Amino acid sequence: MTTQILIAGFGGQGILFSGKFLAYEGLIEDKNVSWLPSYGPEMRGGTASCSVILSDEKIGSPIIDKPDVLVAMNLPSLDKYEDSTVENGHIFVDSSLISREVKRTDVNVHYIPATKIASDEGLTGLANMILVGYIIKKTGVISIENLEAGLKKVVSARKQDLFDLNKKAIELGYNYEK
């Protein structure tokens, strides 16, 4: 089984970081993983994206043409990648930043006001990890069991407060009910 996850939004939303967390979770679960960032002009304020592939098989191209899971953290990203998402795939939308609905009817659509939840809960800047929690819940692409082990790989041990905040954000997303 291979899952191709494309996370896209503005630079500064933690797109690459959330992708790195997912990749580490995959590694902990003994999957083959690849993580490919967009780099260059987009990084400096425009759209940023991150391609994460988790697979039980050897991974060929690290480039994602057709995502199984699309995570849109701004409107331009939803506009750009909605059509390329595979049939019966998943599209996650931060509904506090994107006002329109997903047009596709052949995919599983998940709306979550991640940015609003983050700001209400004192987790400003962690909408990305709230989304990650919601992805884990809705797709089961990785197990929630290894949450702490994965976080330890991406958050420096010296920053315990950041570790706790990230964990809280993931759990909020995981337990989110409409």
Partner 1 sequence: MSEKVLMKGNEALAEAAIMAGCHHYFGYPITPQTEVAAYMAKRMPKIDGGVFLQAESEIAAINMVIGVASTGKRVMTSSSSPGISLKSEGLSYLAGCDLPALVVNVQRGGPGLGGIQPSQSDYFQATRGAGHGDFHTLVLAPNSVQEMVDMVFKGFDLAEKYRIPAMILSDGTMGQMMEPVSLDMGEIKEYDKSWALTGTKGERKPNIVNSLFLEASELEKFNFERFERYKQIEENEAMYEEYRMEDAEICVVAFGVASRVSHNAIDEARKQGIKVGMIRPITLWPFPKKVLNAAADKVKAFISVELSMGQMIEDIELAIRCKKPVELCNRVGGMIPSTAEVLEKIKEVNGGVK
**Footprint on this chain of partner 1 (rule: CB under 8 A):** 20, 23-24, 27, 32-37, 39-40, 58-63, 65, 153
Least separation in angstroms between CB 119 and partner 1: 30
Give 39 or 88: the residue with its C-beta nearer to partner 1.
39
Q: How far apart are CA 20 and CA 11, in angstroms?
A: 15
Give 39 or 83: the residue with its C-beta nearer to partner 1.
39
Burial 94-106 (b: 16+ CB within 10 A, else e): bbbbbeeebeeee
Extract the tokens encoding 14: 């933690």
Give 44 or 178: the residue with its C-beta nearer to partner 1.
44
Extract the tokens encoding 173: 């997303």
Region of residue 116 (left: phi > 0; alpha: psi -120 to 50; beta: else): alpha
Q: Among candidates 140, 162, 154, which has minimal Cα distance to 17?
A: 154
Extract the tokens encoding 119: 């700001």
Give 19 or 133: the residue with its C-beta nearer to partner 1.
19
Q: Among candidates 125, 134, 131, 129, which has minimal Cα distance to 150?
A: 129
Least separation in angstroms between CB 127 and partner 1: 22
Least separation in angstroms between CB 137 and partner 1: 24
Q: How far apart are CA 90 and CA 77, in angstroms?
A: 14
Least separation in angstroms between CB 161 and partner 1: 23
Give 58 or 158: the residue with its C-beta nearer to partner 1.
58
Least separation in angstroms between CB 132 and partner 1: 16
Other C-beta atoms closer than 10 Å to the C-beta of 128 total 27
